[in-house]
Structure 1
Amino acid sequence: MAEIILEMRHITKDFSGVKALDDVNLKIKKGEIHALCGENGAGKSTLMNVLSGVYPYGTYTGDIIYKGEKCEFNTIRSSEKKGIVIIHQELALIPALSVAENVFLGNENTTIKGVIDWDETDRKARDVLSTIGMGSEDLSQQVQNLGVGKQQLIEIAKALTKKVELLILDEPTAALNDEESNILLELMLNLKKQGITCIMISHKLNEVSRVADSITVIRDGHTIETIEKTDKAIEEDRIIKGMVGRELTNRYPDRNSKIGEVVFEVKNWMAYSPLDSKRKVINDVSLHVRRGEVVGFAGLMGAGRTELAMSLFGKAYGKNISGTMIKNGEELHLKSIKDAINHKIAYVSEDRKKYGLVLINDLKWNMSLSSLASRFSKHTVIDSNNEIHVTEEYRKKINIKANSIEQIVGSLSGGNQQKVVLAKWMLSEPDVLLLDEPTRGIDVGAKYEIYTVINSLADAGKAVIVISSEMPELLGICDRIYVINEGEIAGELHKNEFSQERIMKIIMNHIGREK
């Protein structure tokens, strides 16, 4: 029987009287990859924060038994000394520091006099990066110049310098493309061969099924079950049943499309990079969206989908933008984001925490932010009663799980934060919505609710554009798909033509065409 490296017994954790964890029990075998699955807000990250000392001993009840010893961690450093290292979803790197400096951040190589030994730092950084396939990386370059995938690998290199024995990864592939995700998953399997135990929190159930030896499902702060891998991979539907408490036979809600006339049209749209005015990012794009229609933008990472959407949203991205934009038969000349909002165009960013929300403020404040002038104020005086009434109505309407509209948004789960962003733009009553990765980093149950909201927007006659890196998602919710590659429209597919193979074939044909 495999050795148990970690046992968490009867863990209970409260936040202002609300139980985030209620008598949670967990056992982890030495040398395995153990996944934690559950809906947003189920308590997965809270449990790992208890384990790693983010929530110190005394702020929870229950016991942590690590390598046969009862542990009482008061800080992250105290858990790291035992070989437990956590990598949070929000990476803890300093962008302006070099690769080598970040690898040993908080764990510097110093001389007897306390001075950093840079030669030793570079040598050890090169050694540890070689073990994760980054041995040829320029150690002196700033981390901010690297892609998210490489930054994630540098976080793992940091953990390895701390002699990690139990590595916790919270949503490690949420912001990565398929290629980067595969590299990271293979690295986890290699770490397993080296005897390192991994705990992985992820909403990407296909990845969980691929690499996990066992899966513990947490629902509403309770441990529901632990599923062990046998000869076959653990089926996604089996995991979903434990997460949501029922069979989820269809991951995409049914919708009877009622598509009307063209609401939004773009002709010969061009945009250049804001960093290099000679580099064309969007090239001669023409598209249209009809009333009640959900249109997808498919493409590989770096294809220009986000850049296109942001350039349309009041020139939020790009220089020397040209082309024609028509809404409801009227040509628009948008010069700013404010102009876009005033003309009933909304954009939900792929980065909700950076561009979509003010995390230190409450739900009401965030939800009404884009509509204060148009809906909630008169002569610059805010009608607080109306603001409270309407934001509470929308909180219930799209099922935002919060104690009240006065709860701080930063304390909500990722899925509920995403609903707050959607509510903010729904309150502005737009005619055209650009949704950029609307379900990134959220669980399958919350995704279904977001899809339902998208359906309701289309049913209300809105023109909806969805950008997604998940092809099955686009195939499941869209009426039509534009395939984008290298900043151009490479092809267009209607519902009866949808397939992942056709999308990839269009992309490959476009890449291989004569320039």
Structure 2
Amino acid sequence: MDAIPDAPLLLALDGVTKGFPGVQALKGVSLELARGEIHALLGENGAGKSTIIKIIGGIQHQDEGRILLDGQERRFHSYRDAIAAGIGIVFQEFSLVPDLDAVDNIFLGRETASRFGLSRKAEMRARSAELMRRLGIEVDLDCPVGRLSVADQQFIEIAKALSLDARILILDEPTATLTPSEAEHLFRVMRQLRADGIGMFFVSHHLDEIFEICDRITVLRDGRNVGLVRTSDCDMDGLVEMMVGRRLEASFPARPDTPPGDIVLEAKGLRIRDGAPESGFVLHRGEILGFAGLVGSGRTETALALIGAIPCRGKQVRIDGKPVRLDDPAAALAQGIGLLPENRKTQGLMLGFSIRDNVSINNLDKYTNRAGIIDRKKERRITLELMQQIRIKAPSDETESLTLSGGNQQKVVIARWLNRRCRILIFDEPTRGIDVGAKAEIYRLMRALADEGCSIIMISSELPEIVGLCDRVAVFRRGAIAATLAGDSINPEEVMRHATAGSDQHADHH
């Protein structure tokens, strides 16, 4: 393998295999990490990344193959073994105790004790403060971590790993819930740790982050190695092709040749906050209308104000040409408007409940007879039909939503609104946190819904999907629509020109 010049290998996996009942998760995977290297682990959900992380961390054990640490074969019987060997994992789901402060979390389970068994809190606090200084972070060490920002919690997890003298750090989706500025600070910290000789595996669905921070990339597909490349020697299209076997452009289904249908929804005089200009838009039957713009430009606020989920300073809405009052989401739902929220885990799903429960929750009247008894057979039949229709991958309709991949969780929310027969769907960041292959499935599903006559508003921060998927694009700036683009005008340069400063002309193409 192509090692980082002059840097000794810290860790290597050689021909590692791992099987579970009914599935072969890893098929002879080899992997390496050099001292002072940030190495991306890339692949779709199900490619084997999580299994590799757990094997390196001693949480699971390989069936075949070797783990080499500093050139010596090792077998970790537990996570504690891996920690003792200098391996720290910052999992996507934090392992912090919310009611304890940062110091107690960093030293949880290994509190420094005096000769009489008393905790040396002052000593632990000084060590924690030193770790935070090393990370360039200012955190209230006495505050319960549950009250801290997600970014601060992330750094406490990293500090916990460093307090164990970790030489190898595994960062699993560390930027998933961070703002761009918080992510940039994390990258500064990672660069400093790299300079200190720490080797890091970095897992992220954001390919731009991979190019910004990583030295090399290992790509996995279906449990196998499909590529090891230097970041400087590849491009985004090449990576996508390795991950899914096709180029990025192929992810987007073809736009229909037919002209858009009748106007389904018309919004005028929309003012989402004091001082913001008024704006408006129309939505046609069977079209995908993009809401584009920078963070804070008013895209999501406008959609929420439209359906009455947040107050606004004014609006007039017509559906099928008739004036309607959308004072709250229930009124919008009664008009056939459904919302897939930005944060599906906290706002879109009941994670501890089954797929069937989530699909049925807004639709129980469909299954309930006059005596108020739910027809469970009918409920199950409709749920299974929807799961098949939109290809939700799960063992059964009883599967807990918590256990599903991000793409399948998104599909469960879609199934709920299809069950409700919504004819207008608002997708807010529909592919956030899901892998490239699952994104392509969501795109195909959205286009199929539009082809069947559903009208879609898609709010997205990802320019490629705005340009690749939408029939028209409303570009937001400073709380209002600055321009509406169609046809050849839908290109990255034109979208960014209107989003950043360019023109206040309302170049609307109905």
Q: Which of these residues, 463, 468, 471, is aligned with residue 479 of structure 1?
A: 471
Task: Look up the match of 2:51.
Answer: 46
**Residue 194 of structure 2 corresponds to which residue in structure 1?**
192
State the Cα deviation string for residues 330-351 of structure 1 (Å, max 9, x = none). Answer: 3333454443333211111222
The alpha-carbon distance between structure 1 residues 144 and 324, as it changes in their structure 2 partners (threshold 3 A), is: farther
Q: Could you say what secondary structure the match of 2:10 adopts?
A: strand
> Alignment partner for residue 304 of structure 2, among 304, 310, 314?
310
CA shift at 1:445, angstroms?
1.6
TM-score, with structure 1 as normaliser: 0.84
Match of 1:19 among 24, 28, 32: 24
Structure 1 distance, partners of 2:360, 2:277, is 36
| Matches of 1:502 and 1:142, distance apart in 2 | 46
CA contact 2:261–2:285 (8 Å) conserved in 1: yes
- The alpha carbon displacement at 1:168 in A equals 0.7
CA distance in structure 2 between the partners assigned to 1:330 and 1:426 by the alignment: 24
Contact 1:173 1:181 in 2 (8 A): yes
More deviation in 119-128 or 83-92? 119-128
* One-letter amino acid of the structure 1 residue matched with residue 385 of structure 2: E
Q: Could you report, residue by residue, the CA deviation over 1:120-179 in whole angstroms, capped at 9, with x for unpaired residues? A: 4554333322333324x5545565665544443443233222222111111222333444
1: CA distance between counterparts of 2:241 and 2:122?
53
- Residue of structure 2 equivalent to 1:361: 353
Q: Counterpart in 1 of 2:164?
A: 162
Structure 2 CA distance, aligned partners of 1:64 and 1:324? 64
Which whole-Å CA distance do the structure 2 matches of 1:10 and 1:484 have between them? 50
Q: Deviations over 1:458-482 (max 9, x none)?
A: 2222221111121222122122223
Whole-angstrom distance in 1 between the partners of 2:173 and 2:388: 28
Q: Taking structure 1 as reference, are residues 44 and 122 closer, same or farther at Cα in structure 2, changes over 3 Å only? A: same
Question: 2:401 is matched by which residue type in structure 1?
Answer: V
Query: How has the CA–CA distance of structure 1 residues 225 and 288 changed in structure 2, closer, same or farther, with 3 Å as cutoff?
Result: same
Q: After superposition, give the CA deviation of every residue in 1:282-322 in whole Å (9 maximum; x if it has no partner).
A: 7745333222221222233334433333343442xx35775
Equivalents in 1 of 2:272, 2:275: separation in Å?
A: 6
Question: Residue in 1 aligned with 2:266?
Answer: 265
Determine the structure 2 residue equivalent to 1:421.
Answer: 413
Deviations for 1:67-103, whole angstroms, at most 9, x for unmatched residues? 3454444543432222211112233445565555555
For the residues of structure 2 that align with 1:215 and 1:117, how far apart are their CA atoms? 43
C-alpha displacement at 1:201, in angstroms?
1.4
Aligned to 1:470: 462
Q: What is the DSSP-based 3-state SS (H/G/I as helix, E as strand, rest coil) of the residue aligned with 2:36?
A: coil
Aligned to 1:218: 220
- For residues 323 and 241 of structure 1, do their structure 2 counterparts lie closer, same or farther at Cα, with a shift above 3 Å needed? closer
Q: Quick one: distance in 2 between partners of 1:310 and 1:348?
A: 11
1:328 aligned onto 2:333: no
Aligned residues of 2:305 and 2:312 also touching (Cα < 8 A): no
Aligned-partner Cα distance in 2 for 1:203–1:261: 38
Shift of 1:505: 3.7
User: Could you say which residue in structure 1 is the equivalent of 2:508?
Assistant: none
Residue 8 (str. 1) matches residue 13 (str. 2): yes
Give 1:502 shift.
Answer: 3.7
Residues 487 and 152 of structure 1: CA distance in aligned 2, closer, same or farther (over 3 Å): farther
Alignment CA distance shift 1:218-1:30 (3 Å): same
Give the whole-Å Cα distance in 2 for the aligned partners of 1:407 and 1:344: 28
Q: Is the 8 A contact 1:34 1:212 kept in 2?
A: yes
Q: Is the contact between residue 175 and residue 183 of structure 2 (CA under 8 Å) also seen in structure 1?
A: yes
Does the 8 A contact of 1:5 with 1:30 survive in 2?
yes
Correspondence for 2:69: 66
- Is the contact made by 2:249 and 2:468 (CA closer than 8 Å) also made in structure 1? no
Aligned to 1:238: 238
Matching residue of 1:124: 127
In 2, are the aligned partners of 1:485 and 1:510 still within 8 Å (CA)? no
Counterpart-to-counterpart distance in 2, 1:117 and 1:287: 63
CA distance in 1, matches of 2:431, 2:374: 32
CA contact (8 A) 1:267 1:287 kept: yes
Q: Residue 112 of structure 1: CA displacement? A: 4.8
Deviation readout 1:465-509 (Å, 9 max, x if unpaired): 111121222122122223334433344333432343444443443
The number of aligned residues is: 497
What is the distance in 2 between the residues matched to 1:327 and 1:97? 52
Q: Partners in 2 of 1:311 and 1:425 — Cα distance?
A: 19
**2:261, 2:247 → 1: CA distance?**
35
Q: Does 1:286 align with 2:287?
A: no
Are 1:296 and 2:296 an aligned pair? no
**Cα deviation per residue 1:208-243 (whole Å; 9 max; x = unaligned)?**
2343333222222x223341318x332223322322
Quick one: structure 1 residues 282 and 409, their matched pair in 2 at CA, closer, same or farther if it must change by over 3 Å? farther
Question: Residue in 2 aligned with 1:460?
Answer: 452
Structure 2: distance between partners of 1:142 and 1:288: 47
Match of 2:429 in 1: 437
What amino acid maps onto 1:426 in structure 2? Answer: L
Between the aligned partners of 1:494 and 1:160, the Cα distance in structure 2 is: 51
In 1: Cα distance, 2:65 partner to 2:356 partner: 36
Decide whether aligned partners of structure 1 residues 353 and 193 sit closer, same or farther in structure 2, where only a CA change above 3 A counts.
Answer: same
Change (3 A) 1:486 1:149: farther
Identity of aligned residues (%): 38
Name the SS for the 1:401 alignment partner.
coil
Q: Distance in 2 between matches of 1:266 and 1:116?
A: 63
- CA offsets per residue over residues 349-383 of structure 1, 9 Å max, x none? 2222222223333333333333332x444434334
- 361-370 or 167-176, larger mean C-alpha shift: 361-370
Q: Take 1:189 and 1:170, find their aligned partners in 2: how far apart are those partners?
A: 17
Q: 1:459 to 1:161 in 2, by over 3 A?
A: same
Contact 1:478 1:495 in 2 (8 A): no
Letter in 2 for 1:292: G
| Structure 1: unaligned runs, 5 residues or longer | 273-279
Equivalent residue, structure 2, for 1:384: 376
Report the aligned-residue RMSD: 3.3
Distance 2:502 2:143 in 1: 33
Q: Give the Cα–Cα distance (whole angstroms) in 2 for the partners of residues 448 and 466 of structure 1.
A: 15
- Give the Cα separation in 2 of the matches to 1:234 and 1:259: 39
Paired with 2:246 and 2:491, the residues of 1 have a C-alpha distance of 28
Task: Find out whether 1:252 has 2:252 as its counterpart.
Answer: yes
- Per mean C-alpha deviation after superposition, the further-off stretch among 238-247 and 88-97 is 88-97
Counterpart of 1:275 in structure 2 is none
SS for the counterpart of 2:282 is strand
2:214 equivalent to 1:209: no
SS class of match (1:392) = helix
> What is the distance in 2 between the residues matched to 1:384 and 1:281?
51
One-letter identity of the residue aligned with 1:229: R
Structure 2 CA distance for partners of 1:209 and 1:120, relative to 1, 3 Å? same
Q: Distance in 2 between matches of 1:311 and 1:105?
A: 45
Distance 1:303 1:142 in 2: 33
1:396 counterpart (388, 407, 414): 388
